[in-house]
C-alpha cells in the first residue's frame, strides 16, 4: 500500500496562566506527551511537534502537520486545555481528526495529589473539543481507553489501517471494458461520484485491444502456461484447442493490465463471444488474474471491483461472488459466480479442476473455467452499493466458509454461514439494506476496520 501513513500527534495541557501555576510540571508533561506519541511509531510515521500549551504552539503544530502532509491528526489532552488553543490547529489543517480519551493511571488513588490530576485528567477538556469541532464543521472520531490497554491500541491500529485503505483508494485505475450486463440496474453508477467520494478512476479500454494483443501471443507461451497449470492444479479436462485459446486469452488479459497500468478491471465478459478472433468466455483468464492479485469483475461491475480493491488492501487477496442457493438445513448459502473466482483461495491446489465452461457459448464453443470449493475459515463479505444522488453504502457481513464438496457446476463455490443470526435474517437484511447482487469476499473478520473505512470516506454502512 505504498508509503507508511503520516500520523500527526497533538498533545496539550494547560500548565501556566494567570490563575494556574503548575509550570513546574512541564518536564513531566513533555515526557508524558512524548510517551503518547511513541504509541504510533509502529503504525506509521509519527509527526510530533512537542507538547502544546499556547496558541502560537498550536499554530506551529498546524504548520508542521501541513508541511509534512499528515494523513491523520491524533489529539489528546493530559489535562484541561482551553479549547481556543487546539482550535487554532484544527482551523488551519484538513487531515481527519481522531480524539483519544486516555490517561496513565487506572484508578484514582486515595493519596492522589494535584500533580497526578494534572497529568491524568484529559477527559475534563475533551467534551469542549468535541463541541468545537462540531461547531466548525469538522468530522472527527473518538477512541476511549487506558493508555496501555491492548484493545485500545488495536482500535487505534484499525483506524490507521482504515486510513491506509482510504489513501490506497486514491490510486486505483479501474479499466472498464464493454458495458454493464443488459438490464442489470444495480451495476449502473456515476463514475464521477465514485471518483469524488471513494477515489478510484474508471478508465475505458476498447474491447478491440484484447483481440489485437491475443494475436501476438505465440503458441509456445500458451503451452508453457498450460504446463504450469497442470503442475499447479488437480487436472485439466479441456480439449487442447480450447485450452490453447483460453491460455492465449489469459496471457492477453495479463499483458493488457500491464500495458494500461490498471489496478483492476470491470469487464463485460461476454463481449468477445461473437468475435472469431476470441470466441470464448474468458473465465479462466479473469480468474487467473484475480489469483495474481488483480481484481476482475464480471458483467462490468465497477462497484465490486472497488470492494475487491478494499479487500486486497486489507488481506492481499479477495474474490468475486454472488448469492446462489440457500441451504436451510446448514443455516448457510452457496456463494459462487459463473466460472469466475480466485483459485488461490481453494481448499487445496490439487482439488482445483480446469474444465470446459458451461456458461455462455461463443463462436469457438466454451472456454476453460475453474471448478473448486473455497477453503474453510472466517470470512467477510463486502458489497459497495450506489444508491443514487452521491449516496454510497458499504454492506458488511462476517461469517465462515464451511467445508464442502464442490458440485459439478464448473464454478468456484463456497458454503457461507453468517456469523450472527439465521440464514433467513442474513438474506432479508442483505436485500433490505440495498446490497448489489454481487459482492467481494476476503478471509478473516474485518467488520471493525471496514466500518472505520466507511467513516473515513464519509459514506454510509450497514453491518449484517
Residues 271 and 404 in one domain: yes
Q: Kindly write down the DSSP assignment for every residue of 430-446, as one continuous string.
A: HHHTT--SEEEEEES--
**79 three-state secondary structure:** coil
Q: How many CB atoms lie within 10 A of CB 331?
A: 16
Q: Kindly write down the DSSP assignment for every residue of 164-200, as one continuous string.
A: HHHHHTTS-EEEEES-PPTT-GGG---HHHHHHHT--
When pLDDT is cut at 50, 70 and 90, the band that residue 17 belongs to is: confident
Q: What's the CA gap between 170 and 158, in Å, rounded?
A: 19
In a domain, 366, yes or no: yes
Model pLDDT for residues 134-179, shown as the tens digit of each residue:
999 999 999 999 999 999 999 999 999 999 999 999 999 999 999 9
pLDDT at position 3 over 90: no
pLDDT at position 1 over 70: no
Indicate the average pLDDT of the chain: 97
Q: Which three cell numbers stand for residue 175?
A: 479499466
Q: Are 246 and 288 a contacting pair, CB within 8 Å? A: no
Domain count, the chain: 2
Model pLDDT for residues 172-218, shown as the tens digit of each residue:
999 999 999 999 999 999 999 999 999 999 999 999 999 999 999 99
Q: What's the CA gap between 148 and 108, in Å, rounded?
A: 16
Residues 343 and 227 in one domain: yes
- Which of 144, 168, 192 is where one domain is finished? 168
Residues 260 and 338 in one domain: yes
Residues 153 and 177 in one domain: no
- What pLDDT is recorded for position 157? 97
CATH number reported for the structural domain that contains residue 134 in this entry = 3.40.50.10940
**443 three-state secondary structure:** strand
Residues 91 and 224 in one domain: no
Residues 290 and 347 in one domain: yes
Q: Are 443 and 405 a contacting pair, CB within 8 Å? A: no
In a domain, 338, yes or no: yes
Residues 185 and 152 in one domain: no
In a domain, 86, yes or no: yes
Domain region containing 96: 6-168
Q: What's the CA gap between 237 and 223, in Å, rounded?
A: 15
- Which of 168, 192, 213 is where one domain is finished? 168
**260 three-state secondary structure:** helix
**Averaged pLDDT for residues 395-399:** 98
Residues 13 and 154 in one domain: yes
- Which of 147, 168, 189 is where one domain is finished? 168
Residues 331 and 283 in one domain: yes
Model pLDDT for residues 412-464, shown as the tens digit of each residue:
999 999 998 999 999 999 999 999 999 999 999 999 999 999 999 999 999 99
In a domain, 1, yes or no: no
Residues 224 and 103 in one domain: no
Amino acid at each position: 500500500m505504498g508509503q507508511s501513513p503520516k500520523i500527526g500527534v497533538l498533545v496539550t495541557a494547560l500548565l501556566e496562566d494567570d490563575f494556574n501555576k503548575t509550570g513546574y510540571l512541564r518536564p513531566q508533561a513533555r515526557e508524558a506527551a512524548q510517551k503518547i506519541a511513541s504509541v504510533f511509531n509502529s503504525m506509521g510515521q509519527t509527526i510530533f511537534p512537542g507538547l502544546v500549551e499556547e496558541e502560537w504552539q498550536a499554530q506551529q503544530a498546524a504548520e508542521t502537520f501541513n508541511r509534512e502532509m499528515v494523513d491523520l491528526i491524533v489529539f489528546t489532552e493530559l489535562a484541561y486545555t482551553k479549547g481556543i488553543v487546539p482550535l487554532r490547529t484544527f482551523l488551519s489543517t484538513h487531515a481527519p481528526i481522531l480524539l483519544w480519551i486516555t490517561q496513565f493511571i487506572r484508578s484514582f488513588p486515595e493519596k492522589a495529589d494535584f500533580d497526578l490530576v494534572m497529568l491524568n485528567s484529559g477527559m475534563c477538556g475533551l467534551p469542549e473539543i468535541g463541541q468545537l469541532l462540531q461547531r466548525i464543521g469538522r468530522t472527527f472520531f473518538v477512541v476511549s481507553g487506558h493508555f496501555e490497554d491492548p484493545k485500545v491500541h488495536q482500535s487505534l491500529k484499525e483506524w490507521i489501517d482504515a486510513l491506509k485503505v482510504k489513501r490506497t483508494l486514491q490510486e486505483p485505475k479501474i479499466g472498464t471494458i464493454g458495458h454493464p450486463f443488459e438490464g442489470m440496474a444495480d451495476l449502473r453508477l456515476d463514475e464521477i461520484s465514485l471518483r469524488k467520494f471513494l477515489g478510484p478512476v474508471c478508465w475505458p479500454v476498447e474491447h478491440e485491444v484484447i483481440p489485437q494483443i491475443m494475436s501476438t501471443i505465440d503458441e509456445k507461451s500458451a503451452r508453457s502456461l498450460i504446463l504450469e497449470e497442470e503442475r499447479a492444479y488437480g487436472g485439466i479436462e479441456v480439449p487442447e484447442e480450447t485450452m490453447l485459446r483460453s491460455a492465449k486469452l489469459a496471457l492477453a488479459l495479463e499483458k493488457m493490465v500491464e500495458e494500461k497500468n490498471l489496478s483492476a478491471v470491470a469487464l463485460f465478459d461476454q463481449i468477445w463471444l461473437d468475435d472469431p478472433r476470441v470466441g470464448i468466455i474468458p473465465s479462466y483468464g479473469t480468474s487467473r488474474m484475480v489469483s495474481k492479485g488483480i481484481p476482475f469483475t464480471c458483467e462490468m461491475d465497477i462497484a465490486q471491483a472497488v470492494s475487491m480493491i478494499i479487500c486486497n488492501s486489507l488481506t492481499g487477496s479477495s474474490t468475486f461472488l454472488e448469492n446462489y442457493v440457500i441451504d436451510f438445513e446448514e443455516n448457510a448459502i452457496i456463494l459462487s459466480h459463473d466460472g469466475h473466482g480466485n483459485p488461490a483461495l481453494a481448499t487445496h491446489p490439487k482439488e482445483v479442476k480446469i474444465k470446459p465452461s458451461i456458461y455462455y457459448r461463443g463462436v469457438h464453443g466454451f472456454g476453460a473455467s475453474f471448478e473448486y470449493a473455497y477453503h474453510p475459515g472466517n470470512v467477510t463479505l463486502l458489497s459497495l452499493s450506489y444508491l443514487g444522488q452521491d449516496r454510497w453504502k458499504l454492506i458488511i457481513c462476517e461469517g465462515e466458509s464451511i467445508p464442502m464438496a464442490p458440485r459439478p457446476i464448473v464454478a468456484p463455490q463456497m458454503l457461507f454461514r453468517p456469523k450472527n443470526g439465521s440464514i433467513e435474517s442474513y438474506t432479508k437484511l442483505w436485500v433490505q439494506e440495498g446490497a448489489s447482487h454481487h459482492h467481494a469476499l476476503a478471509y478473516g473478520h474485518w467488520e471493525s476496520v471496514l466500518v472505520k473505512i466507511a467513516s473515513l470516506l464519509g459514506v454510509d454502512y450497514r453491518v449484517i
